[in-house]
Structure 1
């Protein structure tokens, strides 16, 4: 299962295709890799299909918007070809359509890779793996973890403040000035509580011997195993094979320059 993989190496695994695909401006390369990522996510990641579709739908809407804007505002080097139709004063050509579809597919690849990482990764294990494998300073690691744990508390305190102010007759603000005053009524007590909680947390960590030193023991040991490297090789190997096939078939385009044979 993808959830049991080392989070740090998993992040590197999904980051490399995201960077390399940004250089490809053809349709074939991102389409094939997108189908691979979707297939892996559905059959091997352990993420429920309904949950994945719910998160992936916004990416599809954004990708459609990116494609449409690219078709209308394509630069001169990408707007070549036969004019298909005109929207107001913008000519949509075969070249701009190809660039728009390519951008949409690349955006969907980024979204699918991001969801594969986010939906299968525990945030605490991710920060611990960054500290142990990538030598992220412990002071930053535990600071981020503490801040992440505070988020639900801030939400609860905000709800209590809003209900308390409504009981005292402070309803929903109308107008810009009233909204600014309402924001101050919320922000000041939330900030004061956050400072007090941060100070108590820092004192508690110091009392337990936390110094931020790299030389420390760990209750949870994060390791990189052969299974992690297999995942790394499979994802990036699939990307390299996709590039090779695209080049052999003559589809590969790097920044608009045809690289295929």
Structure 2
């Protein structure tokens, strides 16, 4: 019986999930046909839906986002493509001063598929990896200096803290009757008033983090014992081999006369 955790992308090593799709991204940079990026996007999307354990809004955008992005980029790149650089100059659609040519549409579609494929490959790690686990894995397996790694992790924790501090500052302004008025100019003025206390809070928080790291001996020793280890297992090697196999098989499956090669 297959272990259910094998199908869960969250159970794989974060460094492997980040590095394994890189060869596929390199292949996508050099491709100009339609079938190759479409197949890469399909593989990445199936992996996300099957093993990403996505729910709610994340699941909705994982399904609806890629087609929407492809459509927007197809039209955007299509109307800006120079018709002199495409073979088929049949006019398909006129949008004000812009004309969407048939050949330009294929160029835009190929670009949209490539960008979407790279995005989906990056989301395999992005949606199934915790920042702390990635840092620990990089320290353990890529020999990143732990002082740098944990300093970066502390900086990442600033983002949600900024949100809480901003909400407290807004409430304080509201209680004190500070009202900058309405409209975009007033909004800019209000956020300008928020910036000084936010900066002061960030400096205080950074000082506390620095003192805490010094008190715990960060940087005093060449290595550090991790309480929560992120191991490399056989399944991680299988995942890396899987991505290499995909890089080899997808271009073979993408038959030129079916892929709409652009040359």
Report the TM-score when normalising by structure 2.
0.84
Cα separation, 1, equivalents of 2:26 and 2:71: 21
User: Which one is further off, 232-241 or 208-217?
Assistant: 208-217
C-alpha contact 2:92 2:102 (8 A) present in aligned 1: no
Task: Show the counterpart of 1:220.
Answer: 228
1:71 paired to 2:78: yes
User: Which one is further off, 19-28 or 51-60?
Assistant: 51-60
Task: Show the counterpart of 1:23.
Answer: 30
Q: Unpaired runs of 5+ in structure 1? A: none
Match of 1:52 among 41, 54, 59: 59
Cα separation, 2, equivalents of 1:106 and 1:160: 43
Task: Show the counterpart of 1:146.
Answer: 154
C-alpha contact 1:63 1:108 (8 A) present in aligned 2: yes
Cα separation, 2, equivalents of 1:73 and 1:85: 14
Offset of 1:172 from its aligned partner?
4.4
Task: Show the counterpart of 1:199.
Answer: 207
Match of 2:88 among 73, 78, 81: 81
Offset of 1:2 from its aligned partner?
0.9
C-alpha contact 2:35 2:258 (8 A) present in aligned 1: no
Residues 48, 84 of structure 1: CA spacing in aligned structure 2 closer, same or farther, 3 A cutoff? same
C-alpha contact 1:56 1:111 (8 A) present in aligned 2: no
Cα separation, 1, equivalents of 2:55 and 2:92: 41
Q: CA RMSD in A?
A: 2.6
C-alpha contact 1:24 1:252 (8 A) present in aligned 2: no
Task: Show the counterpart of 2:42.
Answer: 35
Residues 168, 114 of structure 1: CA spacing in aligned structure 2 closer, same or farther, 3 A cutoff? same
Equivalences for residues 72-151 of structure 1 within 5 A: 72-75=79-82, 78-87=85-94, 88=96, 90-151=98-159
Superposed CA offset, 1:147-185 (max 9, x none): 222322221111111111111111244467644543332
Residues 247, 59 of structure 1: CA spacing in aligned structure 2 closer, same or farther, 3 A cutoff? closer
Cα separation, 2, equivalents of 1:45 and 1:209: 37
C-alpha contact 2:41 2:120 (8 A) present in aligned 1: yes
Residues 199, 36 of structure 1: CA spacing in aligned structure 2 closer, same or farther, 3 A cutoff? same
Task: Show the counterpart of 1:232.
Answer: 240
- What SS does the corresponding residue of 1:85 show, helix, strand or coil? strand
Cα separation, 1, equivalents of 2:50 and 2:192: 49
- What SS does the corresponding residue of 1:22 show, helix, strand or coil? helix
